[in-house]
Chains A and B, each alone.
Chain A
Amino acid sequence: MKKKRITGRKKIDIYQKSFSFTHRYNKEKFAFERLKSLKSNFALKINNRLILSAIIFSSLFLAVTIKMIEINLLYTEKGNYFVENVKTKRGNILDRNNTSLTANLLTSHISVNPKAVYDKKKFISKVSAINNRFSTTDLDKLVSEKKFFWLDRNVEPLELQKYVDLGETGIEFRDAYKRKYLHSELFSHLVGKVDIDNTGVSGLEKSFNKLLQNEENNDLILSLDTRIQHIVRDEILAAMKLYKATGGSGLIMNVNNGEILAMTSLPDFDPNNKNVNDNDKFNKNTLGVYEFGSVMKIFTAAMGIEEKIFQPNTKYEIENHIYIGKHRVEDVHRPCEIKMCSVEEIFVESSNIGTIKMIRDIGKGLQQEYLSQLGLLRQVNIEIPEKAIPIVPDPWRTVNTESISYGYGLSVSPLHLAVATSAVVNGGYLIKPSLTKLGDDKRYEHQIFSEETSEIMRYLLSQVVAKGTAKEAFNKDADKAYTEDGKFKYLVGGKTGTSHKIDKKSYTREKLTTFISVLPIHKPKYVVLISLDDPKGINREYGEPYNTWNWSDAGWNAARVSRQIIDRVSPILDIKARYIPNENMLINTSH
């Protein structure tokens, strides 16, 4: 404010009547003063309004802050989008070395709540662009029904993002764990699979469903060994290719406590796939029943020796053929050169005629009693739900007794056979097969055979490998794939079995070859059972490997596969090879 500008001067006149107009009217000054007061009034008005706004603004900030703190302290979750699904994680299945066989993958389920759909037409066109499970008409129908439905399940993150990006109100998401089978086909029949709701539908997933769904401490440890399972599956696959077999099965079981280390049935399936062929789904080891042929002679011999009806050196007269009922039975070749052959020769060379003569001495009653005790006449007992019931002849005639003695007329599963053979070689004790890990100690149920019988049977089994039907596979190093020379050997005993498969009550040309082996034979630890479905003979030039001279019997294929498996598996199972200067020493090592 510049005071100099005021030009009006005060004039004091004491005679004047009033003081009203003492100031000379100054237009400029008046305007300025008026403006000044207007300006200050206006500024006051604006400032008041500003203060009001500031108060409102501050209260907004305060409200937001209070709400934030309230959420942090007092808010309770309704839908549990963040916590819920961690609990529903399914327990994993591990092998005996704690290798994971399964895993849980975090995916999402996508559902539709039609009540919340804003624009039905647009919703359907948008969703059908991404989703190929439902057609446009189906979607239209489902949305119109106003009921909750699943749009897609177990959706991976990339797909999920597409649904999220639609930004439609009716779509709801929830987390879900998808069961993943890490080894694909390897454990398909054993581990089984789960349905979309993570409930087990087959295999161990089904039988241990409750345990696996349990919230804490829910891992399942199996007796299986991934390494051994791989070897068994590899070798059988290779053999199926080599011998043009249509299928195969293999199992390795601990003879002392029943732990199954490997069990494979081919063809198999990938449990990660949705659609599985019924044929692939079939577990030959536990669900399939077969007539195994000569392998059953083990039990005929064992029961005769146990009952002291014959000894390995007891002689039987072997004719060229024999009749059971109307059926004529022949041998492939004679077990010995002379007329009378010993039980040992009959067993080692797998003579049907000799075995029939042996069972005629034993009789129907004893046979039934022993087979029943060995568990061959009842359902096999194992953790998975796929369990076989043997096909037992009814009525049981003399003909059946005689045919069962050499392996026809009684259909059992490979697991039945392995359990019964274990009982023969482990000192005579029955065991219970198990897929879950047990301790190392022996778990015998009850004794069927004496220690002595068991030892004699071990000797007979070792002789089959040393000079009998499995000689080619084990002694001559048919392929020399795993041993430098024949001097270092794993001590194995076994029995071959070749049977013709039955098809609508008549026997076909298709064969089932089986080799059951025990290792080490002097102190049995494991039983190895290999079966091939319809292997063909191979005829190659002399000296070439894998030549079977067109033979397709068990000694040429199943026994060879067993030997290759044993050679690979033994170092893992800590079974030591023996140095054998000559074959006779084998007998002395049986203790």
Chain B
Amino acid sequence: MNKRTYEQSIITNWISEINKPIFFCITVLITFGLLISLTINPGTSRYLNNNLFAFFNIQALYLAIGFLVFISISLIETKYIKLFSVILFTICFALLALTLLFGDEIKGSRRWISFGSFSLMPIELVKPVFCVVLALILNNQYQGTKISSHSLSALIYISVASILVLQPDISQFFLLSAIYFGSVLMSGFSIIILTVIVVFGILSFVMIYLLNFNVQNRINSFLFPNEYDVSQTEISLQAIKQGGIIGVGPGNGLLKNKIPEANSDYIFSVVAEEYGLIGCTLILLIFFIISYQGFKKIYGNNDHFIQICLFTLILYVCLQALIHIGVNIRLIPTTGITLPFISYGGSSVLGMSIAAGLILLFSKNRHIRE
């Protein structure tokens, strides 16, 4: 007995319980993000402050913090995580609301809120805990979810979404909607009514499209590429073509100096140019493995809370990656969505780390055993 208790430390439990493929995939993504931030940034940072590693240092710090967050969240007990999520959601929601008043206006929208030299994009932190909060509300395994829970969840969703529309941040709005409707779907809500709501939502988006010039411009340039300014996507497609199968080599890419936000919104094209089809396939494979492992966990699971949680979290992480890639390869219109862990930016890395930590936590083996 003594020997057994000796063996059962927190770490050994953690190691035996976690889903190793997911842990491995996230670690590889973080490492890859570190590598990319090393090769992408000389183009920009060389001229900004003469420090070749300025961006790398910052991104390395973010990734290190992100990795710690990832590990520590996966160590927390499930009941504490519920409390933690509710608190964090409340704080981040307040911050998100504050962006409308005190946000920094960048390129026509107020998405960032700054604390001294550090600026934060609250929506990135809202998204992962939003998943948990939704799951807490909608979780009812036995009778199907009650109408009151649905109303509460809808209220929360509408309040977050309306802030996003006011900011405006249409791409995050879409992602948030995807998370919400995903959770509603998993809560057992009538699929017919859900479809009606989604169709209605798409119709209202068409209205937004007709009113908002920016969105209109982007959709038009996607639908009629010859008539509108499509230089960014055009350049990014050429970069992917340039990369070929093995790529032009780390740091040799030209794309990063040609388009704005190359290190966040077009990082996939940079990867495609420098690491070729091999690098891209690796990234796609990682997200595929994460979603496969997650879905496998959901399938046999008895805990409805964990089912909704895992489903929405995986939807969030993988859909964000897919949207980013889709924009880069012109499968969908241009939006500013980051690629998890690879794109430059502290908020994105932090939010993704929380999400990844939660995925790792909820996909632990003990949840099946119960």
List residues of chain A with CB under 8 Å of any chain B CB: 35, 38-39, 42, 45-47, 49-50, 53-54, 57, 60-61, 63-65, 67-69, 71-72, 75, 77-82, 113, 115-116, 118-119, 122, 157-158, 160-161, 164-167, 169-170, 172-173
Contacts and interface: CB of A to CB of B under 8 A. Distances in A.
B295 to A, nearest CB: 5
Contacts of B141: 39, 42
A53 B311 contact: yes
A63 B143 CA distance: 37
Interface string B130-141: 000000000001
Nearest to A71: B240
B229 A170 contact: yes
Contact of B242 (A61, A82, A116, A166): A82
A68 B329 contact: yes
Contacts of A169: 217, 229
B304 A173 contact: no
B104 to A, nearest CB: 14
A57 B331 contact: no
Contact of A39 (B142, B260, B329): B142
Contacts of A165: 260
B3 interface: no
A172 B231 contact: yes
14 contacts: A38-B142, A38-B143, A45-B188, A50-B299, A61-B288, A64-B284, A64-B325, A71-B240, A71-B329, A72-B245, A75-B240, A77-B238, A81-B238, A166-B260
Contacts of A46: 186, 188, 304, 307
A30 to B, nearest CB: 15
B277 A157 contact: no
A565 to B, nearest CB: 44
Contacts of B277: 68-69, 72
Interface in B288-346: 288, 291, 295, 298-299, 304, 307, 311, 315, 318, 322, 325-326, 329, 331
A157 B257 contact: yes
Nearest to A161: B47
Contacts of A39: 141-142
Interface residues of B, number: 58
Given A46-B307, A164-B260, A71 B241 contact: yes
Contacts of A158: 47
Nearest to A159: B47
Given A57-B318, A71-B241, A118-B214, A81 B228 contact: no
Contacts of A53: 182, 185, 295, 311, 315
Contacts of B238: 75, 77, 79-82
Contacts of A47: 299
Contacts of A78: 234
Given A50-B299, A72-B244, A164 B259 contact: yes
B85 interface: no
A175 to B, nearest CB: 9
B169 to A, nearest CB: 15
A65 B182 contact: no
A349 to B, nearest CB: 68
Contact of B234 (A81, A122, A167, A170): A81
B29 interface: no
A552 to B, nearest CB: 54
B38 to A, nearest CB: 19
Interface in B180-231: 182, 185-186, 188, 191, 213-214, 217, 228-229, 231
A60 to B, nearest CB: 5
A60 B321 CA distance: 11
Contact of A42 (B47, B107, B188): B188
A211 B217 CA distance: 45
A76 to B, nearest CB: 8
Interface on chain B toward A: helix, strand, loop, or mixed SS? helix
Contacts of B366: none
Given A64-B325, A71-B240, A54 B295 contact: yes
Nearest to B241: A75
B102 to A, nearest CB: 21
Contacts of A118: 213-214, 217
B121 to A, nearest CB: 16
Contacts of B254: 82
A116 B228 contact: yes
Contacts of B185: 49, 53
A64 B234 contact: no
Given A57-B291, A75-B241, A67 B235 contact: no
Contacts of B186: 46, 49-50
A64 B325 CA distance: 7
| Most chain A CB inside 10 Å of its own CB: which residue of B238, B272, B277 | B238
B284 A75 contact: no
B71 interface: no
B144 interface: yes
| Most chain A CB inside 10 Å of its own CB: which residue of B231, B245, B284 | B231
B260 A167 contact: yes
B300 to A, nearest CB: 9
Contact of B257 (A67, A71, A164): A164
B167 to A, nearest CB: 16
A35 B243 CA distance: 57
A159 to B, nearest CB: 9
Nearest to A126: B107
B44 to A, nearest CB: 6
Given A42-B142, A67-B331, A72-B241, 11 more contacts: A38-B142, A39-B142, A46-B186, A67-B329, A68-B284, A71-B237, A116-B228, A118-B213, A164-B260, A170-B229, A173-B258
Nearest to A35: B142
Contacts of B229: 113, 115-116, 169-170
A64 B47 contact: no
Interface in B113-151: 141-144
B281 interface: yes
B331 A65 contact: no
A166 B107 CA distance: 8
B18 interface: no
Contacts of B239: 82
B235 A81 contact: yes
A554 B291 CA distance: 92
Interface string B31-71: 00000000000001001100000000000000000000000
B228 to A, nearest CB: 7
B280 interface: yes
B322 A60 contact: yes
A48 to B, nearest CB: 10
Contacts of A50: 186, 295, 298-299, 307, 311
Contacts of B261: 167
